[in-house]
Amino acid sequence: MKEYIIEKVKSIFIVLVGISLLSFLLGVVSPGDPAELSLSKYGYSPTPQEIEARRVEMGLDKPIHIQYINWVKNILKGDFGKSFSTKENVTDMIIRKAPVTFKLAMYSIVITSVFGISLGVIAGINKNKPIDNLIKLITNILFSLPTFWLALLFILIFSEKLGILPTSGDGGFKYMIMPAVSLSLITMSTTAMVMRSSMIQEFGKQYYTFAKAKGISKYDLYIKNVLPNAILPVLTILGNFFGSILGGSAVVETIFALSGIGSYAVESVFSKDFPYLQAYVLLTGLAFVLVTSLVDILIIIINPKIRLKGDIYE
């Protein structure tokens, strides 16, 4: 198991190098001169001398691999550079905006897990009965609806017609309900479908027949015997979802005007604010890799066969 974790950390490292290269190149291949962009303000065009001086200051006159190394060095010091549009430190911006996105992701993953797992378990236990068909129908519909459309529908119903939830802005729990729900419905449906089929797959196994033959209660049979086995593949996809929700909340943040890291990333695309965009790509990539790796390790820890024997490849 130790070896496994070491291997995992190694592969995380390699992936991170890849992500950092990609986000660095994003700044290099993007149109426009960064030195000029960083000097531009409303209605002011910098002179060629100013731009040249700035280019040297930013190290843009150096070869590209030196630029990359310097960039990585700065990031390791916590410096992502200054935003082209706001002239603020990108690090400060991220620190200010990340909690909103993180909160949104947490709410979404909780909704995804709680409802996805419960619906999947209920559907699996009642395979091909009316309740299962109903859950299958609902999850299939939700699964095929785009997030932005759901978000707009929610605003129409709950804010415009019923007036019970605020349309947009940062605030307490109330402000998070619609964004979190619209962000989690697709992942919840997928979780429910995977949970259902995982349960059904367990029903075909010998231990299920034996456990059932013991005459134990339905709760003991399904929740204590089957669920812990059936949930393992679901944990993996939940890990993936958490990572992708964290990175993919840009659309929802924009619709609900939440000042998270995602909504500003959309803005930064339009305003060519590459330092911010680089930081965003790098950090969400990092979060994705860390969460999915943690889940992988968690699954190994849960499995006693690997935990006690140190044998992963059976």
Partner 1 sequence: MGDIIFEDFNVNFETRKQNVKSVRDMNLTIKSHKITGIVGESGCGKSVLSLSILGLLPDYAKTSGNIYYDNKDITALANRVREKYLGREFGYISQNPSESLSPIRKIRKQFYESLDLVEKNKAEIEKKSIEILKELGFEKPLEVLDKYPFQLSGGQQQRVLTGIAISSSPRWIFADEPTKGLDENIKKDSLELFKKLRSFGIDSTLVITHDIDFAKNLCDEVMVMYSGQIVEMGIDVLDNPKHPYTKGFIESMPSKGMKIMEGKTLSPTEDIRGCRFANRCGCKTKRCDLESPKLYNYENSQVRCFLYDKGE
For partner 1, the closer of residues 202 and 273 by Cβ is 202
Nearer to partner 1, 47 or 217 (CB): 217
Tell me the closest approach of the beta carbon of residue 242 to partner 1, in angstroms.
23
Judged by CB, which is closer to partner 1: 53, or 297?
297
CB of 230 to partner 1, least distance (A): 11
User: Please, what is the angle between helix 261-270 and helix 274-302, to 10°?
Assistant: 140
What is the nearest approach in angstroms of partner 1 to the Cβ of residue 296? 17
What's the rounded Cα separation, in Å, for the pair 28 and 243? 26
Pick 87 or 205: Cβ nearer partner 1 = 205
Alpha helices (H) in the chain, listed in sequence order: 2-29, 34-39, 48-57, 64-76, 90-125, 130-143, 147-154, 173-203, 206-213, 218-219, 227-248, 250-255, 261-270, 274-302, 304-309
Would you say 148 or 210 has its CB closer to partner 1? 210
Q: For partner 1, which is the closer residue by CB, 14 or 308?
A: 308
Q: How far is CA 259 from CA 87, 132, 207, 250, in A?
A: 18, 39, 50, 10
> Minimum distance from CB of 202 to partner 1 (Å)?
9
Please report how close the Cβ of residue 69 comes to partner 1 at its closest, in angstroms: 47
Minimum CB–partner distance for residue 139 and partner 1 (Å): 22
Smallest gap from residue 203 Cβ to partner 1 (A): 8
Our measurement of the distance from residue 274's CA atom to the centroid of its chain's CA atoms, rounded to an integer in Å, reads 21
**Which residues sit opposite 89 in a β-bridge?**
82
Residue 61's φ and ψ, nearest 5 degrees, are -80, -10
Name 130's Cβ contacts closer than 8 Å, sequence gap at least 6.
none
Here the tokens at position 172 are 């307490």
Would you say 236 or 244 has its CB closer to partner 1? Answer: 236
Nearest distance in Å: CB 238, partner 1: 18
Output 141 or 216, the one with its CB closest to partner 1. 216
Do residues 281 and 266 lie in contact, with contact meaning Cβ atoms separated by under 8 Å? no
Give the pair of three-digit tokens for residue 179: 């964004």
| Residue 107: Cβ within 10 Å count | 19
What residues contact 70, with CB distance under 8 A and at least 6 apart? 59, 62
H or E segment and range at residue 312: none
Residues near partner 1 (CB under 8 A)? 127-128, 204-207, 209-216, 220, 224-225, 228-229, 302-305, 308-309
Beta bridge partners of 44: 41
